[in-house]
Amino acid sequence: MTDTSETTRILIVDDSEDDSRLISRELSRENPEAVFRRVDTEQAMLSALRDQDWDLVISDHSMPSFDSVRALKTLREIQRSTPFIVYSGAYDHAKGVAAMIEGAEDYLYKSDPQRLLPVVRRELRNSRLRRAKDQAERAAHRMSLYDELTGLPNRRLLAHKIAARAAAPGAGAVTCIDIDRFMRINDSFGVATGDALLKQIGARLQTMLGLYDVLARLSGDRFSCLLWAVADAADARDQAERLLSVFATPFQQNGQGLFLTASVGCALLPDHGNDTDILLHGAEQSMAAAKKNGRNCIEIYDPKLAHGASKRLQLENALHYAVEREELFLVFQPMYEVSSQRASAAEALIRWRHERFGVVPPDQFIPLADETGHIIDIGDWVLRRACQQAREWQRAGHEPLAVSVNFSAAQFRDAHIQQRVRNALDESGLSPELLEMEITETVAMQDAEHAIATLRSLKRMGVRIAIDDFGTGYSSLSYLRRFPIDVLKIDRSFIKDLPDDGDSLSIVRTVVALARALRIIVVAEGVETAEQFQLLADEGVERVQGYHFSRPLSVEAFAQKFIAPPGQADPEATLLGPVTEAFGGAGIAAAA
């Protein structure tokens, strides 16, 4: 758990007890809760620094057995970012400058005590921001490579390892291990028991690994093991058998012995591919075949299983004609402003209705369209349609409603992106500040320098920029300062376990703190319950979006609910109903 407590801790390095008492009395006026501790030797300072994190160090310049320069060095070795203020009894300008060069935040004289409070105020503010940023960065880093529950590498880290393995000579194997009927465990014993079991399974599997093998948790009850070296398919099977032997002994849960089994799929490298996605996909497909064969067994990848690929080809082909055959349409999901309890924007979400495949969800076809390049035409259509729609609603209703549009990786890389946006705005007559462009964190981070340049040029056109699915990417939070961002959308995965999950809550808190410092609006995505909403509102989240308020709606349904026909101009009620009304508003049909 990250430390989110608000107590301010100030370490005073001073040999005079009286001076120290004066300082703490002065500072307590503004920070009545603050905790102070006085030290006057290097040893005492070291132990204070090891005991806990400090928000600020105030140090006298020279003491009988210690001085500010050594105090500063000691601090920097242990708590790099804690601000350090020299508060000196002697008036010595040269020493002051020297301290600043060494990295002190400020140099003050005890003869001039009224400067102390404002400087401390400033440094504490900076220190809090830095701490929030560090915490969020650490959390984001952990989340991006390791599975939080088991501490094992996640899919992303595994992918790196597989790529490294593929570059080396010889054969290896990628396995997919899925626990049989795990849903039942969760259903009958609860998720906490399920989680504890997953940890045990991970730990047991790990004892079976060879020196270079890598075990990862892919999701839920699904693990994957990269077997670094295998002789052939038979050897891969033997090694997988060995992994499965961990299920021979029962797992202990609340004094009960539970027998579990698993199904394993296995793809060989380089025989079945060198590409991470293909290998993992192959392993997953063969695991699915193992389940079909009655579970508790191992299947080696069979290229004939790859009929899934032809479905993909068919989709790809059909996608080609989707725009011209007018098979695409948009639905809109409102985003509510917590303060005014009104919807201030709508996110445009694409849908594809194909005569044979039915309604294909965007998660299935957007990545495909992105890879094949179809996304450029599709994205252009979405952008223009969304701008037109927003403009139409503005004409029909009274208050302007912002529209937000998702941009995929390929769209964002497109050299003509600015021109496309400009055209859509010109054509529709929508003012640029009513268009919000959503780019996922992962896309923004792929090539951060290029992203910054592109975002800046878009920003100059007056549109607003949102970072979508925030928290799921390789977040380098230091880039956030450099991205010209207006909005940060916290990914649904951090909302879904609220209010019970402490880690999600601390991530939400650090993101809110950071965003506030950078003057970025925070949106929580995927708010599904009243408790989640209340908690997020209490934490200072400014906007909310989710099924709790409304599912994505067809154009007609959206207009009916939110846009008053001209003539019925009740300026209070024209645009959108209050959130409280939306709470009770069950039964809003999802479009499509």
Binding region for ligand C2E (CB under 6 A): 333, 349-350, 361-363, 366, 379, 382, 406-408, 438, 468-469, 492, 525-528, 545-547, 552
Which backbone phi and psi does 159 adopt, to 5 degrees?
-60, -40
Q: Is 411 in the site for Mg ion (CB under 5 A)?
A: no
Shortest approach of ligand C2E to residue 370 CB, angstroms?
7
Shortest approach of Mg ion to residue 413 CB, angstroms?
18
Of 67 and 525, which has the nearer Cβ to ligand C2E? 525
Q: Is 441 in the site for Mg ion (CB under 5 A)?
A: no
Shortest approach of Mg ion to residue 485 CB, angstroms?
14
Q: Which partner in Mg ion, ligand C2E, none is near 197 (CB below 5 to 8 A by kind)?
A: none
Shortest approach of ligand C2E to residue 488 CB, angstroms?
13
Given a contact cutoff of 8 angstroms between Cβ atoms, the answer to whether 224 and 172 are in contact is no
Given a contact cutoff of 8 angstroms between Cβ atoms, the answer to whether 592 and 331 are in contact is yes
Q: Which partner in Mg ion, ligand C2E, none is near 153 (CB below 5 to 8 A by kind)?
A: none
Q: Which partner in ligand C2E, Mg ion, none is near 552 (CB below 5 to 8 A by kind)?
A: ligand C2E
Of 202 and 546, which has the nearer Cβ to Mg ion? 546
Helices 276-292 and 155-167: crossing angle in degrees, nearest 10, is: 110
**Within positions 496 to 525, which residues make up the interface with Mg ion, using CB under 5 A?**
525
Amino acid at site 202: G
Structure tokens at 259: 């027998």
- For β-strands 358-360 and 342-354, DSSP reports them as antiparallel
DSSP states of 406-453: EE-HHHHH-TTHHHHHHHHHHHHT--GGGEEEEEEHHHHHHTHHHHHH
Given a contact cutoff of 8 angstroms between Cβ atoms, the answer to whether 475 and 502 are in contact is no
Shortest approach of ligand C2E to residue 17 CB, angstroms?
58
Helices 530-539 and 502-517: crossing angle in degrees, nearest 10, is: 40
Q: Is 438 in the site for Mg ion (CB under 5 A)?
A: yes
In this structure, the number of other CB atoms found within 10 A of the CB of residue 261 comes to 13
Structure tokens at 461: 């056109």
Shortest approach of ligand C2E to residue 220 CB, angstroms?
16
Given a contact cutoff of 8 angstroms between Cβ atoms, the answer to whether 21 and 12 are in contact is no
Of 221 and 436, which has the nearer Cβ to ligand C2E? 436
Give dist(CA 270, CA 166) in Å, integer: 7
Of 178 and 469, which has the nearer Cβ to Mg ion? 469
Structure tokens at 338: 């917590």
Contact with Mg ion (CB under 5 A): which of 469, 504, 522, 542? 469
Shortest approach of ligand C2E to residue 556 CB, angstroms?
18
Contact with Mg ion (CB under 5 A): which of 8, 74, 127, 406? 406
Of 140 and 350, which has the nearer Cβ to ligand C2E? 350
Q: Quick check: helix, strand or coil at residue 222?
A: strand
Q: Which partner in ligand C2E, Mg ion, none is near 550 (CB below 5 to 8 A by kind)?
A: none
Amino acid at site 566: P
Shortest approach of ligand C2E to residue 39 CB, angstroms?
50
Residues at the contact surface with Mg ion, assessed by CB under 5 A: 406, 438, 468-469, 525
